[in-house]
Chains A and B, each alone.
Chain A
Amino acid sequence: MKNINDIQDEIVEEFSFLQDDLDMCVEYLIELGIKNKQLSDEFRTEENIVKGCQSKVWMVANYHQGAIEYKADSNTLITMGLVGMLLRVFSGQKPQDILNSDLYFINKIGMNRFIGTQRSNGFAAMIKQMKLYALAYLTKEDVKSESS
């Protein structure tokens, strides 16, 4: 399993091949968006909505053998592409690593071009939601180990 920074470096490298061409970057996000649409209708509920996003984003998480698996969906493809990058970085990682992570790839690939200043709050909300899941599972683990 690659660690969070290995995956971030991969994304940065992939973006460097796109040579700063916004059209190609958008195409990359759309591909990622289509590939990562994983949630069936039953999970697209009010309680799974990530609050603070301009586009609708639904997210769920499962904890299995010490790692978190995230799944998500969005009503817009490009947002789904952005979420797809976060899924790639965080899914399958340990809660503690997710909480400690520094997402430097966001600045390195110039994410602001896609999300703009107005939407950056929404992107921050997605990251916060993913870290909250990590915190919740970590706390659960702590409680379990203390009681055993």
Chain B
Amino acid sequence: MNTIDQESAVLNDLAKIRSAFPILHQQVNGKPLIYFDNAASNQKPISVIQALEHYYKHDHSNIHRGLHTLAERATVAYEESRKAAASFINATESDEIIFTKGTTEGINLIASTFGRKFLVPGDEILITTMEHHSNIVPWQMLCEEKGLELKVLPLLDNGEANWSQLNSMLSDRTKIVSIVHASNSLGTINPIKEIGEKAHKVGAIMVVDGAQAAAHLDIDVQHLNCDFYAFSSHKMYGPTGVGILYGKRKWLEAMPPYQGGGEMIKEVSFDQTTYSDIPHKFEAGTPNIADVVAFKTAIEFIDRIGKKAIIKHENLLLDYASKALTRIDGFRIIGTAPEKVGVISFVLEGIHHFDLGIMLDAKGIAVRTGHHCTQPLMECYGIEGTVRVSFAIYNTIEEIDILVKSLESIVNRLRS
């Protein structure tokens, strides 16, 4: 056993963990699949796939209104997922959990409800240069509609935000500070608790885009003391089409509904409609019941391994890969902050990321290439895009070795 195996308890169970993911055991383009596109969406364990099948085979019905047995079963399963989500991020109560389509919808919901109700012309929203388009565009739309100003905190060369400028960019006009917890392009982990404290001092709320953090960091919204935290099931071993928006009760109660329709009403008449209590006020229409139900199984999968072991394993992969890849001639990592999740964005001098992506795919290695929905960030670095390698619990040191060898052979070929 080498030192790497001894260092990580998770690695000892890795074969067992990998066996839970059917999709990993296939050949792609004649080579064993190596899946390094986890930041875009990670793969699903068999328990999640079976939960979906079980729900449709045994429990499906519409929820909350039916009196029959299946309606009751489906409702209980759906609400159990809400409780599991609340517990996963240590929310005070499950009523503070709203199910959405994904992180993007979560942020749009805040902009459309909190933003429209509480912000007035001249108010400011603060984000950073490293934000995903999902944490830029909804605020730009709100700014245009209401005459607000979007302020953008610049970055340091290593991919950390320049927090020394934070105090000077906050003022009593700042009403929303919305920051990514872990950057999808750089991997940078942001100090959410400290930023939130400063935001609260000037009377702003703290919104967190947790899409990239939820499966990779320990999330405790009470400790972070954020006002909103949005994340997605599909980036944490769960089904696609499910997002989770945590919001403090006081805000959710004060906010108007997001959409109108069934489920979100108390009483409807042509003269006046009254709305349901939270969280149902924000869940108009029949939700994505099956995927929400199966999402609970994804949380259970993560809990069984434990965040501590996950973080340890992914840090090990990050360190090992960062060192090994940097030895390749002309290799440059974009994003070298000291605190990172398992994301390595890179450029290789003289070789376009598009060519690298296709050449790696031909060798069975799935990576992401392009701007990763962070075009302003790419502009800040003066590049068109990067190749991004991102890790999950099932990735191995051996896979990284194959990646390094493959990149070396591509470099040798193209520079010959």
Contact present for B362 and A26 (CB under 8 Å): yes
In the bound complex, how far is the Cα of B413 from the Cα of A54, in angstroms?
Answer: 24
Contact present for B30 and A22 (CB under 8 Å): yes
In the bound complex, how far is the Cα of B385 from the Cα of A76, in angstroms?
Answer: 13
In the bound complex, how far is the Cα of B359 from the Cα of A25, in angstroms?
Answer: 10
| Residues on the A chain within 8 Å of B352, using CB | 55, 75-77
A residues 13-29 in Cβ contact with B at 8 Å: 21-23, 25-27
Contact present for B29 and A114 (CB under 8 Å): no
Residue B253 interfacial (CB < 8 Å): no
Contact present for A21 and B30 (CB under 8 Å): yes
| Residues on the B chain within 8 Å of A59, using CB | none
CB distance from B407 to the nearest CB of A (A): 14
CB distance from B116 to the nearest CB of A (A): 34
Contact present for B414 and A23 (CB under 8 Å): no
Contact present for B362 and A23 (CB under 8 Å): yes
| Residues on the B chain within 8 Å of A21, using CB | 30
Interface centre among B361, B362, B414 (most CB of A within 10 A): B362
A residues 29-77 in Cβ contact with B at 8 Å: 30, 54-55, 75-77
In the bound complex, how far is the Cα of B28 from the Cα of A22, in angstroms?
Answer: 10
Residue B355 interfacial (CB < 8 Å): yes
| Residues on the A chain within 8 Å of B355, using CB | 30, 76-78
In the bound complex, how far is the Cα of B414 from the Cα of A79, in angstroms?
Answer: 15
In the bound complex, how far is the Cα of B354 from the Cα of A26, in angstroms?
Answer: 12
A-B contact count, CB below 8 Å?
Answer: 33
Residue B4 interfacial (CB < 8 Å): no
> What total of chain A residues lie within 8 Å of the partner, measured CB to CB?
15
| Residues on the B chain within 8 Å of A54, using CB | 354
In the bound complex, how far is the Cα of B361 from the Cα of A26, in angstroms?
Answer: 10
| Residues on the A chain within 8 Å of B414, using CB | 30, 77
B362's partner among A22, A75, A79 (CB-CB below 8 A) is A22
Contact present for A30 and B413 (CB under 8 Å): yes
Residue B60 interfacial (CB < 8 Å): no
CB distance from B398 to the nearest CB of A (A): 20
| Residues on the B chain within 8 Å of A79, using CB | 354
The closest CB in chain B to the CB of A116 belongs to B358
In the bound complex, how far is the Cα of B223 from the Cα of A44, in angstroms?
Answer: 54
B residues 19-70 in Cβ contact with A at 8 Å: 29-30
A114's partner among B30, B358, B363 (CB-CB below 8 A) is B358
Contact present for B354 and A22 (CB under 8 Å): no
Known: A23-B362, A23-B363, A26-B362. A78 touches B29 (CB 8 A): no
CB distance from A120 to the nearest CB of B (A): 14
CB distance from A14 to the nearest CB of B (A): 17
Interface centre among B30, B355, B359, B361 (most CB of A within 10 A): B355
CB distance from B371 to the nearest CB of A (A): 11
In the bound complex, how far is the Cα of B363 from the Cα of A79, in angstroms?
Answer: 18
A96-116 to B contact mask, C-beta < 8 Å, 1/0 = 000000000000000000100
B2-30 to A contact mask, C-beta < 8 Å, 1/0 = 00000000000000000000000000011
CB distance from A3 to the nearest CB of B (A): 31
| Residues on the A chain within 8 Å of B413, using CB | 27, 30
CB distance from A34 to the nearest CB of B (A): 9
In the bound complex, how far is the Cα of B182 from the Cα of A97, in angstroms?
Answer: 55
B residues 351-374 in Cβ contact with A at 8 Å: 352, 354-355, 358-359, 361-363
CB distance from B349 to the nearest CB of A (A): 14
In the bound complex, how far is the Cα of B362 from the Cα of A76, in angstroms?
Answer: 16
Contact present for B354 and A78 (CB under 8 Å): yes
Can you identify 17 A-B contacts, CB atoms within 8 angstroms? Answer: A22-B29, A22-B361, A22-B362, A23-B29, A23-B362, A23-B363, A25-B362, A26-B359, A26-B362, A30-B355, A30-B413, A55-B354, A76-B354, A76-B355, A78-B355, A79-B354, A114-B358
Known: A22-B362, A78-B358; 7 extra A-B contacts, CB below 8 A, are A22-B361, A26-B359, A30-B413, A55-B352, A55-B354, A75-B352, A79-B354
Question: B residues near A, CB below 8 A?
Answer: 29-30, 352, 354-355, 358-359, 361-363, 413-414
- Top 8 closest A-B pairs, CB basis? A76-B352, A22-B362, A22-B29, A76-B354, A23-B362, A26-B362, A77-B355, A76-B355
